Each structure stands twice: as structure tokens, then as C-alpha cells.
Amino acid sequence: MKTRRNLIQLCLLGALLLLLPAAVQAQFTFTTNSDGLSVTITGYTGSGGDVTIPDMTNGFRVTSIGDWGFYSTFPNNVLNVLIPDSVTNIGNAAFYSCTSLTNITIRGSVTSIGDYVFYGCTSLASVTLPDSVTSIGDHAFAICISLISVRIPDAVTSIGTQAFADCAGLTSVVIPGSVTNMGDQAFIDCTSLTNVAIPGSVNSIGSEVFYYCISLTSATISNGVTNIGDEAFRGCSSLISAAIPTSVNSIGYWAFRDCTNLTNITLPYGITSIGDAAFWNCTGLTSVAIPCSVTNTGNVTFEGCTGLTNVVIADGVTSIGSETFYQCAGLTSVTIPSSVTTIGFLPFEDCTNLTAIVVAIANPSYCSMDGVLFDKNQTVLVQYPAGKGGSYTVPDTISVIGDQAFIDCTNLINITIPSDVSSIGQEAFSDCINLKGLFFNGNAPNYAGLWAFYNATNVTAYYLPDTAGWQEFTAATGVPAVLWNPQVQTGDGSFGVGTNGFGFNIAGTTNIPIVVEAAINLAGPWTMLQNCTLTNSSIYFSDPQWTNYPSRFYRFRSP
């Protein structure tokens, strides 16, 4: 019985083909649909020129163009195609790589433009889509390099992945308010596209939607959009402005990377997340304000924004990511609010003109220097900026010196480390080629990280009496540890008034450096009188100005 039915169906199909006009049979191949009343075009065998697809053939309605229907069957001289009202479905890849096709008109009832339908139609300059279309499939018009403009019908709700990818000739596109979904890379590499307006109906702008649209100068994002996807506008080097509405709550990683002409970006209240490298290498960006709704600025977010001169971080931001402002050479000052509890790795490295950092640390429990508070030009990014180079005293609130905390601080000579510091991270003082003195106020750190003092060949650690762990410290780091113990000698005949003033001998470990200071009372201020080294374990100090003061106090400190 099954065999008989198959034979009957084949006979019916043969009869149908015999009934079709000879001209139609010569141009198209057909298959009968399951309803027995309509047909699907499966190929074209005509001679080219202008091609009109028939709507009826001997009483049978043409309702569909099959998958891959015209792929490799179109002759090179086919220029125009008219699809009639009767067609409701255009199958996937129906006109795939029809390189001579220049114009196609779709009339009537088509509701969906399938995947890869016009992929690689490199001569296609014009296409008319009917109002009945509700979705445009993945790669539907990809690599249609001659397509100049597209008006998407008002009923379209979905634009597929890479729908218009590599349409290098596309200069304008109108996205209607019906669209709710824009697939990833929908307009990637549309290098002639100059402007775009994204309606608020679009909930999320997909990843790489406008990636490398190098001629895009403006992007209007309407209120209603909540997410700007990863790399959405990456490489849009002509983009000058992009207004971000209050509805947006997240910006993906690399979203505006390499938008080198972007001069202004407004981050409205409501954004909670900024992705890593979101504005990487936006060299034209001059100022940015991060609203208090942001909890994390992301890593390397503004790296290479060399034109950035002003940054405002609102009170409420809790975390600044690693290398957030790396190589922002134009940045001169920044204020970090008290709400910040976490600062990532080297957020201001290579900010060569950064001279003022205000860190309003309200909670003294903020005590980690996880490689973030200094840049290679010795800009000190802590509570008490100390400028560039020379000597620096780590604040008492610090308990950890993290990985690469002082890496490449080539002008750093001396540093004083508080007693609560318990560990030194990897490469913490690597390449500090001029570092000479590490002055510890407490016990040796419990652990000194790998290569902590790499290429810091002239450094010496100085420790106080009654502290411990220095033999182990030297074994772990290779840095020699020397007892720092200067004392005034009051019983050797040197103490008192001499020929050149009041003086005394200072004794201690050979070659330890000290600074002698004086004040008229213990409250200060203290004035440096002499910076000296105890050659042969002793040196004579004299104060020729002692007669100018009714009384004077003296003290020693590290350089």
C-alpha cells in the first residue's frame, strides 16, 4: 500500500509539471507542497535578464521559495527579481551568493526573511521589503557590499545575527520602534554607515553590533535600552558622540574601545556595571564622570585615554578596577571617594602627569596596597601624596604591600615601612634601580614574594633593635639586613659646647644612614640639620646655630 501511494504521488507530480506552461517549465523547477494545492520553487533554469516569479501555475499557487532555491542556478546576467504576493516564505539561503543580482522586490505576504537569504549578493544595491515582514534572519544580507540603504519595515521585531554584516556600501539604516532584538554583529564592518538611531523598544544591543563601523559619527540610543553589549561600538573611530539614556544599567567589555574621536560620554545614574576596557584607547575623551550607581568601574576601562584630563568618581562607587586609568597621560588629578573599599591592580600606572591624588579613606580598615597605589613615575596614590621620587613613608594603615606595588619606581631612593606590614608581594620593588634603603619599623615580613627586589641591586634593609626575622628575610630576598641603632654618646667627652657650636658623637652600626633634626619643643616643627652616614660606626655632629635658641631638642630618623 505504501509503495502504491508513493507511485500515485509521483504520477500527480508528473501530471502537474505537464500542465505548467512551457515557458514556466523552462525557467523554474518546482515541488508540490504537503497541502497538494501549492508549490515551492526549488531552482531557476532560465536565460537570465529580468526574472519574475509566477504567482500561479495552472491553478496551483506559488507560496514558497525553497532553501538554497537559486544558489548556483542563477546565470551571471540575472539583474532583477520580482517576488509576487503569493509567496509567504523565502527559505534559508534562497539567493545565496547570487553575485549578479542588483535589485529584488518582495511583494505581499512574506513574513520572514530567512537565514543567509541574500548572503554574498555582492551586486545587490536595492531591496524592497514588504510591511508583512516581522523578522530578518541571521546573515540575511551579509556581504551585500553594494547595498546602500535599507528601510526595515515597521512590523519587524527581530534582526538576526550578522544580518547586515560586511555591507560595506550601506550608508544609512532606519530601525523601527517595533524591533525588540538586535542580534550580535548585526551591522559589523558596515564601514560606510554614518549614523544610527536605536529605538527604546530594543532591550539589549547585542555584542559587536556596530563593530568597526569606521564612518559612524553619531549613535542615538533611546530610553528603554538597558544593556550595551560587549564590543557593541568597538573600532567606530569616527564616532563623536553617543548619548546613553538613563535606562541603561550595564555597558559591556570593549563596548567603545578604539573610538578615538569620541570626545564626550555621559554615564547617567542607573548604570551599575562598566565592562573591562569599555573605553580603551578613546584618545579624544577629555572628561568622564562615574555616577554613584556604579559599583565597579571595571578593569583597564579607560586605558590609553591620553586626552582624559578630568575624572569625577561619585561617592557611592565601591570598587575601582585594575589598571582602570592606565596610560592616561593627560590626567592631572583625581579624587577617590570614601565609599571606595577596593582598588585593583595599578589603576593609575603610567599616568605621567598625575600629581594630586585625594583618597578620602573613611575606614582605617582599608589597609591593602595590592600593587595599586603607585605608578612608575612615583606618583603616590595614597592618603598623603608625596610627589615623585625621593623618600616615601607608607601610611600606618597599610598592612600588606602587594604584587608590583612599587615596580619600576626608578626615582625611589628610600622608603619607610610601618610595623603592621606583614608581607611583601611578588615584584613589589622590582626594577627600583635607585632604591637604597628599606627602613622597617617592625619585625621582618612573614613572606617576601618571588622576585620582590628583582634588579634592585643596591638596596639594604634597616631594622630596629628588638625586632626579629631578619636572617630569614635576607635568605628569602637576597637583601642584606642591617641593624639601625644610632645613639648619642654622652660620656666620651664629645657631648657639649665646642669650638664650632654644640655637638656630640653619634655611634651605631657602620654605614647606616641617618637624618638629624632639631626643634624648640617636642611638638615640633622639626627641621633637618644634617643627612649623614656613620662611617666607621661613628660621626661627630655639631650645631653651629645653637646659640640662636634658648633651648633645642634633637632627634634621629631614617632618610
Q: What is the mean pLDDT of each run of 10 residues along the chain (559 residues)?
A: 42 40 63 93 84 86 91 74 93 91 89 93 91 95 94 94 96 94 96 95 94 95 95 96 91 97 89 95 93 89 93 86 87 78 75 65 35 36 40 76 75 87 85 91 84 91 96 92 95 86 93 94 91 91 89 91
DSSP structural state of residue 445: P
- Given this model, what pLDDT does residue 473 score? 93
Beta-carbon contacts of residue 251 (< 8 Å; ≥ 6 apart):
228, 244, 267, 271, 273, 274, 275, 278
Beta-carbon contacts of residue 66 (< 8 Å; ≥ 6 apart):
31, 40, 41, 42, 91, 94
How far apart, in whole angstroms, are the C-alpha atoms of residue 482 and residue 204?
A: 62
- Determine if the peptide bond prior to 395 is cis (ω within 30°): no
How far apart, in whole angstroms, are the C-alpha atoms of residue 559 and residue 557?
A: 7
CB 251 within 8 A of CB 272: no
**Amino acid, res. 382:** V
Following DSSP, what letter does each residue of 68-121 receive, concatenated?
TSSTTTS-TTEEEEEE-TT--EE-TTTTTT-TT--EEEE-S---EE-TTTTTT-
How far apart, in whole angstroms, are the C-alpha atoms of residue 442 and residue 419?
A: 4
- Given this model, what pLDDT does residue 356 score? 60
The H-assigned helical ranges of 350-497 are 470-477
- Given this model, what pLDDT does residue 205 score? 94
- Given this model, what pLDDT does residue 72 score? 67
Q: Where are the domains of the chain?
A: 487-557
Cell of 472: 630569614
CB 524 within 8 A of CB 552: no
Phi-psi region of 208 (alpha: psi -120 to 50; beta: other; left: phi over 0): left
- Given this model, what pLDDT does residue 371 score? 35
- Given this model, what pLDDT does residue 5 score? 41
- Given this model, what pLDDT does residue 355 score? 64
- Given this model, what pLDDT does residue 86 score? 94
Question: Among residues 53, 106, 101, which one has the least CA distance to residue 75?
Answer: 101
How far apart, in whole angstroms, are the C-alpha atoms of residue 333 and residue 351?
A: 10
- Given this model, what pLDDT does residue 361 score? 41
Q: Which CATH number fits domain 487-557: 1.10.3470, 1.10.287, 2.40.50, 2.60.40?
A: 2.60.40
Where b means 16+ CB within 10 Å and e means fewer, 116-127 reads bbbbbbbbbeeb
Cell 608581607 -> residue: 423
> What are the C-alpha distances in Å from 126 to residues 107, 118, 232, 504?
14, 12, 26, 97
> What are the C-alpha distances in Å from 403 to residues 117, 341, 448, 532?
54, 18, 10, 33
How far apart, in whole angstroms, are the C-alpha atoms of residue 414 and residue 6?
A: 94
Where b means 16+ CB within 10 Å and e means fewer, 243-274 reads ebbebbebbbbbbbbbbbebeebebbebbebb
CB 136 within 8 A of CB 157: no
How far apart, in whole angstroms, are the C-alpha atoms of residue 245 and residue 261?
A: 20
Span between the terminal Cα atoms of the chain, in Å? 105
Cell of 504: 656630640
> What are the C-alpha distances in Å from 132 to residues 6, 84, 118, 271, 531?
37, 13, 18, 37, 87
